[in-house]
Amino acid sequence: MSPGPPRSTDLVFNSLGTIVQVRSQEPTLGELIRNLFRHFPPSGQSPDLVISITHDQGRYRIEKNEEGIADGCSRDKALVQLLSIVNETSVYGATSLVVHAGAVASDGEVIAFPASAQAGKSTLVAACLKEGFDYVTDEALLITDTGRVIPYPKAMWLTRESRAALSVDEARLMAPLDDRYKSPVLPEELGAQVAGTPLKMKHLVLPERNGAPVSLEPLGPAFAATELLTHAFNRYDRPREWFELAAGLTRTMSAWRLRYGEASEAASYLRSRLTKSPAS
């Protein structure tokens, strides 16, 4: 029996409240896209964002809501663009407090790592997943008005160096990119799963990778609140409400500064110090 014609992809999913539709004619790319967004809930609603990827003789064109974004690019660059557009639209479209942070969970309790870009959030999150934590996000921590955390399980972006340090099996990556880019890595590729809900904030950990022996220094609640707010993408959307929410959260969570050299060592330390379930 012949395999039949290649299938096109038409995927609709909910990403932090933004309904995203991704269309691709190219079966291989379509399979990658389905894998990369496999942890986002499918949606039957009309899309807020439509991304179409077409190709001609190996060169790709991307359209966002029928407007050309990039043309003549490689498959990998098209994938990077797609993930970037979905991420940016989702994060800035969310109505919850959205903090620039990585986060993991254990027994429904969230440990968040607010930090700027290039601070090593994704690598630290990935190391925690290998240590047995559940995945929440490597980019955007969503906290609702009631203080609950919503997972944002996008693929993690890891450099080749980070993947090597974490012993990621390159041959089994679902969407490996060429050496010019970080590669997306899914939680299951690190032996982990996406955290189930409900999730509540338990620890705010400010990562400081400075080569020092791994340690945790307790921080005051007022400082923790300002760190949450200064790392929030949308802190000025509803400033009074977010201010009250952040202050309220610090009454029930602990805050720490984590100094470390190697992410794996830090993850193991966090597991032993901040959770009820030491790794087996």
**# residues near other proteins by CB under 8 A:** 19
Which residue pairs, CB below 8 angstroms and at least 24 apart, start in 161-167? Answer: 162/122, 162/123, 162/126, 162/263, 165/123, 165/262, 165/263, 165/264, 166/123, 166/126, 166/127, 166/130, 166/190, 166/263, 166/264, 167/130
Stretch that binds other proteins, among 11-19, 49-57, 152-160, 219-227 (CB under 8 A): 219-227
Of 17 and 220, CB closest to other proteins: 220
Interaction between residue 234 and other proteins (CB under 8 A): no
Among 243, 254, 262, 274, binds other proteins (CB under 8 A): 243
Measured from the CB of residue 145, what is the shortest distance to other proteins in angstroms? 16
Rounded CA separation 132/192 (Å): 7
Residue 110 in contact with residue 128, Cβ under 8 Å? Answer: no
Stretch that binds other proteins, among 136-144, 171-179, 180-188, 228-236 (CB under 8 A): 228-236
> What stretch of H or E contains 82?
helix 75-93
Interaction between residue 112 and other proteins (CB under 8 A): no
- 6: CB partners within 8 A, 6+ apart: 26, 27
Measured from the CB of residue 147, what is the shortest distance to other proteins in angstroms? 14
Measured from the CB of residue 221, what is the shortest distance to other proteins in angstroms? 4
Strands 59-64 vs 49-56: parallel, antiparallel or unpaired: antiparallel
Measured from the CB of residue 190, what is the shortest distance to other proteins in angstroms? 34
- Give me the 171-210 binding string for other proteins, x by CB under 8 A, dash otherwise: ----------------------------------------
Which residue blocks in 231-262 are alpha helix, DSSP H? Answer: 239-250
Of 183 and 250, CB closest to other proteins: 250
Rounded CA separation 135/186 (Å): 9
Among 92, 181, 223, 233, binds other proteins (CB under 8 A): 223
Using DSSP's 3-state secondary structure scheme, residue 228 falls into: helix
Rounded CA separation 161/17 (Å): 34
CA 4: distance to chain centroid?
Answer: 36
Interaction between residue 236 and other proteins (CB under 8 A): yes
Interaction between residue 222 and other proteins (CB under 8 A): yes
Interaction between residue 226 and other proteins (CB under 8 A): yes
Interaction between residue 116 and other proteins (CB under 8 A): no
Measured from the CB of residue 39, what is the shortest distance to other proteins in angstroms? 32
Of 74 and 234, CB closest to other proteins: 234
Residue 104 in contact with residue 133, Cβ under 8 Å? Answer: yes
Q: Tokens 């663009």 — which residue?
A: 81
Of 179 and 244, CB closest to other proteins: 244
In Å, the largest CA–CA distance within the chain is 67
Stretch that binds other proteins, among 58-66, 126-134, 141-149, 222-230 (CB under 8 A): 222-230
Q: By the criterion CB under 8 A, which residues form the site for other proteins?
A: 220-226, 229-230, 236, 239-240, 243-244, 246-248, 250-251
